[in-house]
């Protein structure tokens, strides 16, 4: 599956996982999305704090669904920060 991460940055992804962001205190504070590239490297992103948890979770799920269905997706417009 191909993901456009930035203008001119297209990477081949073998898997994607959406998970709640928990800093260890048991309180969910956001949404994290993890990519495993076909070369084994990992890229981890969290959605901006300005995006409500419910919305960020749904955006991440919609992104993964689109990626799975189409085999490619544009991640450049997602309000995320790389970990």
Encode pLDDT of 8-41 as tens digits.
999 999 999 999 987 777 788 889 999 999 999 9
> pTM for the whole thing?
0.90
Average pLDDT over residues 53-66: 95
Interatomic CA distance for residues 49 and 16, integer angstroms: 21
DSSP run (H or E) holding 43: strand 42-47
Six-digit token string for 48: 């901006």
Q: Which pLDDT value is given to residue 26?
A: 77
Helices (H), the chain: 53-70
């Amino acid at each position: 599956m191909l993901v456009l991460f930035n203008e001119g940055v297209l990477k081949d992804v073998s898997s994607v996982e959406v998970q709640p962001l928990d800093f260890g205190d048991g309180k969910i504070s956001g949404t994290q999305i993890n990519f495993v590239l076909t070369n084994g490297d990992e890229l981890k992103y969290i959605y901006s704090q300005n995006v409500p948890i419910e919305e960020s979770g749904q955006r991440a799920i919609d992104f993964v669904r689109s990626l799975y269905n189409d085999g490619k997706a544009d991640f450049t417009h997602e309000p995320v920060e790389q970990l």
